[in-house]
Amino acid sequence: MFFQKRIDRSFDTMNERNKRYIEKRREKGEIVDPETGRTPEEEREWELEQAEARAKAFHEENDEPGLEKGDLPALLLSAFLVFGPILLVLAGILSLGWWLLR
C-alpha cells in the first residue's frame, strides 16, 4: 500500500515535468504538431481563421428578416390579448372606486 502511493506520486511528478518540458519546447517553436505538421503559431492562426469562417457562416445563416405581410395585425392582436384583461381589471377598479367615492 505505502509502496504503491510512492509509485503513483513518482509517476505524477514525472508526468508534470514532461508536460512542462513539452510546453517550453512548444513555446520556442521547436515542436511541430505531428498530426498537422504545423508549429504552434501556425496552429493558432489556423484556428483563428476557422473561428472567423464559422462566425461569418453563422451570421449569414441567421440574419433576421424584416416583418412579413400580416405580421403587424398579428402583433396588435396578441398585444391586445395580453394586455386587454389587465386594462379591463384596472378600468373596473377605477370605475368601482369612482362609483363608491362620489
Question: Which tens digits make up the pLDDT trace of 52-72?
Answer: 999 988 888 777 777 788 888
**Model pTM?**
0.35
Q: Report which of residues 59 and 31 the model is more confident about.
A: 59
List the Cα angle 54/59/65 in 5-degree steps: 155
The pLDDT of residue 52 is: 93
Residues 6 or more apart whose CB falls under 8 angstroms from that of 32 comprise 38, 39
Look up residue 71 and give its three cell numbers: 405580421
Residues 6 or more apart whose CB falls under 8 angstroms from that of 33 comprise 39, 40, 43
What mean pLDDT is predicted for residues 18-24?
Answer: 80
Distance, in Å, from the CA atom of 30 to the CA atom of 25, rounded to the nearest integer, reads: 5
29 close to 41: Cβ distance less than 8 angstroms: yes
